[in-house]
Amino acid sequence: MARILRVAAAQLGPNHLDTPREDILDRIIKLLQAAFQKGAQLVVFPETALTTFFPRYRLEDVPQSDQYFEDGSTLLTSARTRPIFDEAARLGLDVCLGFAEKSTEGGQRRQHNSCVYYSARRGDILAKYRKIHLPGTLQPFEDADAINQLEKLWFSPGDLGFTAFRAPGLIPNTTKLSVGGDGVNNNGNARDDSRGDPIMGMMICNDRRWAESWRCYGLQGAEVILCGYNTTAWAPDLCGKVEMQQTYEESEEESMFQHRLVMTANSYMNSCFSISAAKSGVEDGKYGLIRGSMIVSPDGYVLAEAKTKGDEVIFAELDLDDCLPGKSMVSLLSQAMTDYSP
Ligand code: CDT
């Protein structure tokens, strides 16, 4: 019997430093409603969905920066984020949402580039991921016109690992409803290969370019990878392309090519579906971000792709059992290698 999961990526157009939070919440809620109309059960939003991609700025250039951070423990109750989860609960939608997180675990303030998985069935946040691969430089470029990527300054590297988890209540008649009730990053029996709830893994933007992010999830049997991103269309200093004198258009095209390459190749190599959601368009009047939100099959085919650089929902119906041929080929291969004795 097929294990059908209906999913959406909610691409966001640009946010700006001065965009009021109410406007962003309003757009996110409209995207949730559009995804619901298409029949989605799960909606994936971009990295730092609630703000402009502020880590492109130097710390001193963003004096009121605390307003761009959320306390990860109050997402469901804070007026700054609650409307998203209230609407998701009302519509019965699971949501993956990227945001800049501030925490005071152990009495020390830390900042992370994070995302959470909200389960409508559970009415709670089921898992949290903190970005591990923080790209860019620690120091801004000397050239005042260069585009910076200063995530290493703004955030600490993620400390939650790549922890797969099962999302309950999405597939009818699972033989095993698996996830227990003990909260964030409960990865249940994600290593159990019995048929059951979908096995999910979350990563954020630059993580998708590194084989180990995917492989950590692949080895836990992940069936759907969720990945929000903000990928600059033009950053010659950052990409070591100053000498090449690439045009904006050439740079954007190359960036799109590489995004498609990592999403399709890694989905194929790990025999999993992937859903990537962009923040796209020009932020703060100057900083272009690529489009390309896409849903990819375990065979590496693009099932749906955004056509615009603005707010847009893409949708696909997945049969999670399509992951099985590739995954069982891997286990046959590893069995053959274990059996091999020269
Ligand atoms: N947000 C983020 O991780 N962006 C990086 C930019 C890399 S430098 C062009 C990315 O991998 O898309």
Fold for the domain defined by 4-339: Nitrilase/N-carbamoyl-D-aminoacid amidohydrolase (3.60.110)
Q: What is the distance in A from the centroid of ligand 1 to the CA of 25? A: 24
Of all protein residues, the one whose alpha carbon is nearest to atom 6 of ligand 1 is 231
d(CA 296, CA 28): 23
Q: What CA–CA distance (Å, rounded) separates 229 from 232?
A: 10
Q: Which pLDDT score is estimated for 198?
A: 95
Residue-by-residue pLDDT tens, the chain, 342 positions:
789 999 999 999 999 999 999 999 999 999 999 999 999 999 999 999 999 999 999 999 998 999 999 999 999 999 999 999 999 999 999 999 999 999 998 899 999 999 999 999 999 999 999 999 999 999 999 998 899 999 999 999 999 999 999 999 999 878 654 444 443 333 444 434 446 899 999 999 999 999 999 999 999 999 999 999 999 999 888 888 777 788 999 999 999 999 999 999 999 999 999 999 999 999 999 999 999 999 999 999 999 999 999 999 999 999 999 999 999 876 666 666 566 655
Cβ of 206 below 6 Å from ligand 1? yes
Question: Tell me, what's the pLDDT at 196?
Answer: 87
SS3 content of the chain, % helix, strand, coil (to 5): 30, 25, 45
DSSP secondary structure letters along 270-334:
TT-EEEEEEB-EEETTTEEE----EEE-TTS-EEEE--SSSSEEEEEEEEGGGGHHHHHHHHHHH
> Could you tell which of 227, 230, 259 is best to mutate to test the pocket of ligand 1, judged by most ligand atoms within 8 Å of the CB?
230
Residue 70: active-site member? no
Position 218 scores a pLDDT of 96
- What's the CA-to-centroid distance between 94 and ligand 1, angstroms? 26
Q: For the whole model, what pTM was predicted? A: 0.93
Give the pLDDT confidence score for residue 288 in this predicted structure: 97
In this structure, what token pair is assigned to residue 13?
């157009």
Q: What is the rounded CA–CA span in Å between residue 14 and residue 313? A: 15
Angle between helices 21-38 and 82-91 in degrees, nearest 10: 10
Q: For residue 159, how far is its CA from the centre of ligand 1 (angstroms)?
A: 19
